[in-house]
Chain A
């Protein structure tokens, strides 16, 4: 593979990650990410056919507690950390359309 990750790919993943890159950053990150992916290519030498995937080191299934109401976090304390609140809720800019 000549190019493991293109500028176009990096623009795309930056958008997926909700990050904005300057032209200089785009150039630099593309080359740095390509270096890391080149190094990661050493696993191509391994025969991985039929090898199952491991996503977690310890075999635990769903863990459920008893269905008994318990107090949650203090609402005022949680909201005190928010950038903006209104009527006991988080306030955000409009998700669709223009600002009112």
Chain B
């Protein structure tokens, strides 16, 4: 098990072998050199350098700044940062400065991490390509003509492009895992309730989770360990203590029961992606895992349920953007006219579509046919997964049906974009943890991710399988397109 770049920085800073200031400066230099990626909405250079100096002073005084000492971290721009704009890449929140920090931000600070900026995303996390940002696209570091995936495309590009060793993002239907797969990095969605949502701008409250993005499984586990835990400020937070993952990361997969989800390996999944999934399954089998196929029948209906449940919750959550308390206001003589003018000007097309879809699914006469039915399908998804986990410890599936696609390829027809999430939404509906691990390359040499899913609070076994996959990939290099160095966008280096 090799330490990732984040673990290496933290170890060196804690040991007094390098300064936090140098680590942060290196990241800021890389961010400036990689500005063409469009990964960041805002860079907080001054505050980051001041904080790095405070960490260095603490080390000099014999204190331990924590497990992420001096590690630069990028935050998806839907995670609230006090006094620093948090936009969700939407005009309706442009310039808004939250009056409080998200719990994950407090935890990062307590662990010695240094926030260096806020990353671009699909507006309000609705999308799979980051093309729905009001502030322009983010480019894939492996090919600037292609999308980084989404909605956390900025965080994924920042890590894959070597701008920061770590990033936090959010995952409602795959928004951490799919961009991680498309950018050739590790991205993980924790068990629902494992990480506090306090200070995460709500999209679909029963599905949203914050999770880590990193270049190695070890680094992802390190960041996860810092942010996981109970938070009294989030009433859906799970009270059980978080286990130590060190054993899992070093453990082998001998005898581990791995089930390949047949429903997620059929129609609509590209051949190059399936080939990498088979290679991953073969590698695990050769390492002693018991690999078999498992049917999760409701998994295929997950997407339909997801695209009714998530918009329904969003239509309610986004009702708060009314031009009264914060963000944009378009003046009008009456309050309702002001609400309409503000929302019409402030939201982009995809957000409008989802709000209307959700309002429709919840409206009188259609509630039972759409939202009510979707909630029952959600029960079936949970039952089918529970049955699969009686026979298998972890499940294996593709993360994304394809490698990174080109800009504009899926924007004309929203349904084709929605199909990008077909392999990831089920974990959100069930509330289970899942991780995408890079496992070689597919078409045009672009990265392919393999997804490991586990039952609720099964992060331990999920990380065990993920770490094994990382070790088993021949010729593995941490998948940084240009770690820490300046330079033009380069074609990917995935093996």
Contact A17 B308 (CB under 8 A): no
Within 8 Å by CB of B375, from A25, A32, A53, A98, lies A53
A77 to B98, CA, bound (A): 9
For residue B191, which residues in chain A have a CB less than 8 angstroms away from its CB? Answer: 58
Indicate whether A83 reaches chain B with its CB closer than 8 angstroms. Answer: yes
With A36-B418, A54-B379, A57-B430 given, is the CB distance from A94 to B334 under 8 Å?
Answer: yes
Q: Which residue of A lies closest to B429 (CB)?
A: A57
Given contacts A18-B339, A53-B376, is CB(A39)–CB(B353) below 8 Å?
no
Known: A13-B363, A54-B375. A74 touches B324 (CB 8 A): no
CB of B99 within 8 A of chain A? yes
Whether the Cβ atoms of B307 and A83 lie closer than 8 Å is no
Q: Which residues of B contact A35 (CB under 8 A)?
A: 413-415
The answer to whether A39 and B379 touch (CB under 8 A), given A48-B373, A58-B193, A78-B99, is: no
Interchain CB contact (< 8 A) of B376 among A10, A52, A73 = A52
- Contact residues in B for A51 (Cβ distance below 8 Å): 376, 379-380
Do A17 and B338 touch (CB < 8 A)?
no
Known: A84-B329, A93-B333. A33 touches B357 (CB 8 A): yes
Contact of B415 with A58 in the complex, beta carbons under 8 Å: no
Tell me, yes or no, whether B128 is within 8 Å of chain A by CB.
Answer: no
Cβ–Cβ < 8 Å partners of B356 in chain A? 10, 13-14, 17, 19, 29, 33
Chain B residue at minimum C-beta to C-beta distance from A30: B356
Question: Are B355 and A19 in contact, with the CB atoms below 8 A?
Answer: yes
Shortest beta-carbon distance, B174 to chain A, in Å? 15
**Would you give the shortest CB distance from B457 to chain A, in whole angstroms?**
10
CB distance from A74 to the nearest CB of B (A): 6
Q: Which of B225-270 contact A (CB under 8 A)?
A: 232, 235-236, 238
Whether A82 lies near B326 (C-beta < 8 A) is yes
CB–CB B325/A90 < 8 A: yes
Instruction: State in angstroms the CA–CA spacing of A65 and B207 once bound together.
Output: 24
Q: Whose C-beta in chain B lies nearest to the C-beta of A62?
A: B235
Question: Is A63's CB within 8 Å of the partner chain B?
Answer: yes
Complex CA gap A19/B191 in Å reads: 35
- Nearest-CB distance from B25 to chain A (Å)? 31
Specify which chain A residues have a CB less than 8 angstroms from the CB of B349 in the assembled complex. 25
Residues of B near A98 (CB, < 8 A) are: 333
Closest to A95 in B: B335
Q: Is the CB of B377 within 8 A of A43?
A: yes
- Chain B residue at minimum C-beta to C-beta distance from A16: B359
- Any chain B CB within 8 A of the CB of A46? yes
Q: A20-B344, A37-B370, A40-B304 are in contact. Are A29 and B353 (CB under 8 A)?
A: yes
Of all chain A residues, the one with the shortest Cβ separation from B427 is: A57
| Whole-angstrom distance between the Cβ of A34 and the nearest chain B Cβ | 10
The yes or no answer to A23 lying at the interface (CB within 8 A) is no
Does B355 lie within 8 Å of A60, measured CB to CB? no
Q: Interface 1/0s, chain B 321-335, versus A by CB < 8 A?
A: 011111111011111
Note all chain A residues with C-beta closer than 8 A to B329: 83-84
CB < 8 Å A-B pair total: 168
Known contacts A39-B307, A57-B192; is A81 also within 8 Å of B99 by CB?
Answer: yes
B139 interface contact, C-beta 8 A = no
Interface majority SS (helix, strand, loop, mixed), chain A: loop
Query: Is B340 touching A19 in the complex (CB atoms < 8 A)?
Result: yes
**In chain A, what residue has the closest Cβ to B372?**
A53
Asked, given contacts A32-B353, A32-B413, A56-B206, whether A73 binds B97 with beta carbons under 8 Å apart, the answer is no
Interface status of A7 (Cβ within 8 A of chain B):
no
- A5 → B minimal CB distance (Å): 6
Query: Given that A35-B415, A57-B206 are contacting pairs, would A43 and B352 also be in contact in the complex, using a CB cutoff of 8 Å?
Result: no
Contact B376 A20 (CB under 8 A): no
Q: Which of A16, A40, A52, A55 contacts B370 (CB 8 A)?
A: A40
A19-B431 contact given A40-B370, A53-B372, CB 8 Å threshold: no
Q: Are B301 and A13 in contact (CB under 8 A)?
A: no
Q: CB distance A48 to B206 under 8 Å?
A: no
A43, B326: Cβ atoms closer than 8 Å: no
A84 and B322 alpha carbons, distance in the complex (Å) = 13
Assess the A90–B324 pair: CB atoms within 8 A.
yes
Q: Determine if B340 and A58 form an interchain contact, defined as CB atoms under 8 angstroms apart.
A: no
Among B99, B232, B335, B341: residue with most chain A CB under 10 A: B99
Instruction: Give 1 or 0 for each of B413-426: 1 = CB within 8 Å of chain A CB.
Output: 11100100000000
**Counting CB contacts under 8 A, is A9 at the interface?**
yes
* A30 shortest CB reach to chain B, Å: 10
Chain A residues in 8 Å Cβ range of B352: 17, 19, 25, 29
B378 within 8 A of A: yes
Is B374's CB within 8 Å of the partner chain A? yes
User: Do B326 and A81 touch (CB < 8 A)?
Assistant: yes
* Any B CB within 8 A of the CB of A86: no
Q: What are 13 A-B pairs at a CB distance below 8 A?
A: A13-B363, A17-B356, A18-B336, A25-B352, A29-B352, A33-B356, A42-B301, A43-B373, A48-B377, A56-B236, A58-B192, A81-B326, A93-B334
Task: Please give 5 more A-B residue pairs, beta carbons under 8 A apart, in addition to A16-B359, A57-B429.
Answer: A17-B356, A19-B347, A29-B356, A51-B376, A57-B193
Q: Which 10 residue pairs across A and B have the least CB separation, nearest first?
A: A57-B431, A83-B329, A53-B375, A63-B235, A40-B304, A81-B326, A13-B359, A54-B378, A51-B376, A99-B333
